Structure 1
Amino acid sequence: MELSLTGLTATDWQAIWLTIKLCSYTTFILLIIATPIASWLASGHSKFRIAVQAIVALPLVLPPTVLGFYMLMLLGPHGAVGSTLQSLGFTHLAFSFTGILIASVVYSLPFAVQPLLQAFRDMGRRPHEVAASLGANKLDRFFTITLPLCRGGFIVATTLSFAHTLGEFGVILMLGGSIPGETRVLSVLIYDYTEAMDYAAAHTLSLGMLVAAFVVLSLVYTAQRRFSLVRL
């Protein structure tokens, strides 16, 4: 394979763009899903709240291979979801981009929910109660109160979700394997290079991911410091 001017091959760029696509889609979906979950956990008094919190936090303690295995059993040709899709004339979701996207959303869910949950708790219920008494509906309250007051939480949730998806490996490898242009993201490609003893290529991509992770974490800590100072 010929190197480009940047020292990266076409295979590398393919994995880079696939990784960016996966991270972007995952982050967008997570913000939609995590916002109502975090809001319910912050304000609800349901007896199921502890159970929901535990389920959301499971990816933090489960080995990625365990989660990937059960996702494969669920979405594969013999799983409940995969077999149902096949009976309807569709293809099962194992070894596909859609499959690893679903797995990424599940695996990174706590990294979106936790910052939003903390932001909603810090905001409290009083601003919403005042707005409701003035006639504001739920949608108005979300855009005029929740988003401005909790913007720090949304920034942290976005950056953490993106960064965590960027570093996913075990879940994706178990469910998606290493299919070029479909499931071979950067972390999997680095593994492939290492297995092939192409340490120079693995080092180049690993260094890029290291720098990207440092930048993202710096943004997270900057956002946390800025918005915590604003609250003071």
Structure 2
Amino acid sequence: MSLSTEDWTAIWLTIRLCSYTTLTLMVIATPLAWWLASGRSTFRNAVQAVVALPLVLPPTVLGFYLLIALGPRGFIGGTLEDMGLHHLAFTFEGILIGSILYSLPFAVQPLEQAFSNLGRRPIEVAASLGAGAIDRFISVILPMTKSGFIVAMTLTFAHTMGEFGVILMVGGNIPGVTHVLSTTIYGYTEGMQYAAAGRLSLMLLIFAFIVLFVVHWFNRGFGMIKP
């Protein structure tokens, strides 16, 4: 399978975007999922709805609002411009923010389900033995919910790799900056270069199969993504 320099650039940019999105979401999703799994706040249902919103919201809608917010006249982009910095529309940082928001439920929901299945008993036993919060997380929570973390990371990485609408709206299709695999395939198809589009599509198809195999392998015991 022969790939062009442009293809390899898009592949490495996609891997970079997926890796940054996954690592960032693990940091954000872990405490959020724990709070959703164990909290009894009146705002819990509202937060769950917000987290699941990308599952039912068209990506172009989310991409449109992000484009406005991150652009030179938006709240975030305009503030950066006033500070002498560049706005985030049509930048790698912009599509990273879009990917984090759009992949949020794929990180939070598996972790929330894993924490719910764990229950409070193991944590309470560890606390009664004098284990601190960090020790409880490393010694009890993490080992007993590792399947949930693996599923969350795998789904987040894979979902980010397949993103198109949000990426195109927020980042456009700038080579070396926002030109990821999904937009590369779109560009090839639009230019009727079907052989090149087919090669990259086959790569993503094989990757998707491997991801689903891994998810089903580790997902024996708790439910998955739900809107």
TM-score by length of 1: 0.94
Aligned amino acid, residue 97 of structure 1: F
Distance (Å, rounded) in 2 between the aligned partners of 1:78 and 1:53: 30
1:85-127 CA distance string (max 9 Å, x none): 1101111000000010010000000000000000000000111
2:126 aligned partner: 131
1:135-164 CA distance string (max 9 Å, x none): 211111110011000001000001000000
Does residue 90 of structure 1 match 2:85? yes
1:15 aligned partner: 10
Select 2:44's aligned residue among 43, 49, 59.
Answer: 49
Comparing 124-133 with 110-119, which one deviates more in the overlay?
124-133
Aligned amino acid, residue 132 of structure 1: A
Contact 1:152 1:227 in 2 (8 A): no
1:208 aligned partner: 203
Does residue 187 of structure 1 match 2:182? yes
1:153 aligned partner: 148
2:24 aligned partner: 29
Does residue 116 of structure 1 match 2:111? yes
Task: Give the Å deviation of 1:131.
Answer: 1.1
Distance (Å, rounded) in 1 between the aligned partners of 2:174 and 2:27: 28
Structure 2 runs not aligned, ≥5 long: none
CA RMSD between the two structures: 1.2
Among all aligned residue pairs of Structure 1 and Structure 2, give the percentage whose two residues are the same amino acid.
65
Structure 1 runs not aligned, ≥5 long: 1-5
Distance (Å, rounded) in 2 between the aligned partners of 1:217 and 1:85: 40
Aligned amino acid, residue 210 of structure 1: L
2:191 aligned partner: 196
Distance (Å, rounded) in 2 between the aligned partners of 1:81 and 1:132: 42
2:168 aligned partner: 173
Aligned amino acid, residue 219 of structure 1: V
